[in-house]
Amino acid sequence: MSATSHAGAAPKRTQVAIVGGGPAGLLLALLLHRAGIDCVVLERRSRDYVLSRIRAGVLEQGTTDLLRSAGVGGRMDREGLVHDGFDIAWRGDTLHIDLRELSGGKTVMVYGQTEVTHDLYDALDAAGVPVVHEAEDVRPQGLETAEPFVTYRTKEHGERRIDCDFVAGCDGFHGVCRTAIPRDRIETFERVYPFGWLGVLTRKPPIQEELVYAHHTRGFALCSLRNPQLSRYYIQCSVSDKVEDWPDSRFYDELEARLPDRIAANLQRGESVEKSIAPLRSFVAEPMRYGRLFLAGDAAHIVPPTGAKGLNLAVSDIYYLSRALTAHYGERDGRLLEGYSGDALARVWKAERFSWWFTSMIHRFEDDGSFGQRIQEAEFDFLAGSKAAQTALAENYVGLPF
């Protein structure tokens, strides 16, 4: 029976109830199933909606390794694009960061989050793991007891309840799981950035084979891609801007102005098939465990997209959590569950630091004035002249080990 056929219904009892059917929740479900652990995924949106979301597309080495070990790396390896490096544009010139050389042979893979989600759904369908879509009013309860449960309702089946051993909160920044933790039992840390990213997806070949991160007095720009015929471009914009303020022609004019001439000359303008503005923030909630509830992914932390860490951090959380649950059920060893929050947060904070640093160096901060601009220039000059600094950048970009 496929996961799709479970829409609206689920067993009354399972071992792990997973709230959230994005890539974090789906990957956790697949890894638990492979380990013989029963689980159910509850997703607020429809499957079509989940698969229509446009998200990140740069996968770290550890992420691709874990997807392969979960049995969902085949299409990624056939269609994904291995990137050995990227360019940083500054003062009309570029600095190339050779990831493979600087990191000891590691690379990143350009493969869209939507494609990862497709692959996970296909694997869960084949395995018959239940995924309940359009599950409304999801409420994790009894989290500090030995018998937690989750209630929800669907249009087809009405009010439902799933009893479980553990709840995995993979339901994102605006989900219900983090808010189920009493305020005096959780601490949050946040930095909101004074700008957003305006992103455009277009069915045109990319401006070049590798990514370009550009600093300019007019603001930041990024030239990325999803595949050889699908480009993803971003520019820094005001948080008060609206998509309607940016017709395609204005967007491309601004993008070109922020790129070195030799790179801008390769730009192929195309009609946008998706356009959106995303605010930037750094956010961490800790601990990532409350009783029988474990937070993972955006439910526990957010990074600005500059360093491409969001999906990769979610995957590393799932590595730690699936490993811990497997040890609990398979070996009756609860030590990894007890250490889950500390293990995950140690890596989270390092990724937060890197994402904050890269964002701070390459964006335009109007309020920082001329002093801030000089500091940015000094930071870039140091990076350009130091192999040690470039190595640190490369090691963080390809992903710290987990």
Q: pLDDT (tens digit, 9 = 90+) per residue, 331-344? A: 999 999 999 999 99
Helical (H) or strand (E) element with 89: strand 85-90
Provide the pLDDT for residue 187: 98
Number of H helices and E strands in the chain, helices first, is 12, 20
With bands split at pLDDT 50, 70 and 90, how would you rate the model's confidence at 53?
confident
pTM: 0.95
Provide the pLDDT for residue 5: 38
pLDDT tens figures, 2-31: 334 344 467 899 999 999 999 999 999 999
As a whole-number percent, the residues of the chain with pLDDT over 70 amount to: 98
Provide the pLDDT for residue 56: 72
Say which of 213, 252, 290, 319 is annotated catalytic.
Answer: 213
Provide the pLDDT for residue 166: 98
Provide the pLDDT for residue 11: 86
Catalytic status, residue 83: yes
Domain limits of the chain?
A: 4-81+111-189+282-356, 85-109+193-280+366-398
Say which of 111, 193, 320, 397 is annotated catalytic.
Answer: 397
Catalytic status, residue 305: yes
Question: Which CATH architecture fits 4-81+111-189+282-356?
Answer: 3-Layer(bba) Sandwich (3.50)
Provide the pLDDT for residue 124: 97
* Cα–Cα distance, 29 to 38 (Å, whole number): 8
Say which of 301, 305, 319, 340 is annotated catalytic.
Answer: 305
With bands split at pLDDT 50, 70 and 90, how would you rate the model's confidence at 52?
confident
Catalytic status, residue 309: yes
Say which of 6, 23, 83, 193 is annotated catalytic.
Answer: 83
Catalytic status, residue 397: yes
Is the model's pLDDT at 352 over the cut of 90?
Answer: yes
Provide the pLDDT for residue 10: 78
Provide the pLDDT for residue 54: 74
Provide the pLDDT for residue 8: 44
Say which of 309, 319, 328, 363 is annotated catalytic.
Answer: 309
pLDDT tens figures, 217-274: 999 999 999 899 999 999 999 999 999 999 999 999 999 999 999 999 999 999 999 9
Provide the pLDDT for residue 9: 60
Domain at 85-109+193-280+366-398, CATH class: alpha beta
Catalytic status, residue 49: no
Mark 157-175 as b/e (b = at least 16 C-beta within 10 Å): eeebebebbbbbbbbbeeb
Instruction: Give residue 367's Cα distance to chain centre.
Output: 29
Read off the tokens for 213.
């991160």
